[in-house]
Amino acid sequence: MAPRYYTVTWDQLHRDGKALAWRLVDKGPWKGIVAITRGGLIPAAIVARELDCRLIESASVITYDEEAIGEPRVAKSPIAAGDGEGWLILDDLVDTGTTARIVRALLPRAHFATVYAKPAGKPMVDTFVTEVSQDTWILFPWDTEPQFVAPIAKSAAGAAS
């Protein structure tokens, strides 16, 4: 079955990031935020602003090459966060949970939050905003650009011939 695509706009990501901050505000205070790069950088900035948190660390786990899942590897560890006590880990999405498992092993005492969660990865996070189906590929605003799209009627007419 072909994957489904769900396009997230900058405005929607900002609204969803603020919604995540609302869910996290009473769970703090936080010593800092660990942004999982690259997808967690922008949600971490939004949440950091809303929670008035200025200490930002990063963790880089490489799992994807375009849309293909590869062997995960840690490219940068979040050294400043210690074992994660009092820290908030932020990512854009938990998909299969591969990245989440790796970062949880690095920071076992941290609170893990994502903006979006798929069923396979959902048990790995403590807080999220929106669940999407496992076969949905989320197109984030940094992965897309606005362009013309033909009206559905014109697309359907061409497909019928």
**Amino acid letter, residue 112:** F
Selecting among 91, 126, 135, 143, the annotated active-site residue is: 91
- Of the candidates 12, 4, 37, 31, the residue with the CA atom closest to the CA atom of residue 115: 12
Tokens of 34: 């660990």
Whether the Cβ atoms of residue 36 and residue 43 lie closer than 8 Å to each other: no
Selecting among 11, 16, 52, 92, the annotated active-site residue is: 92
Q: Where are the beta strands (DSSP E) in 96-135?
A: 111-117, 127-131
Tokens of 128: 């999220």
Selecting among 95, 126, 135, 143, the annotated active-site residue is: 95
H/E stretch holding 106 reads helix 98-106
**Amino acid letter, residue 81:** A
Question: Is residue 95 among the annotated active site residues?
Answer: yes
Active site residues per annotation: 91-92, 95
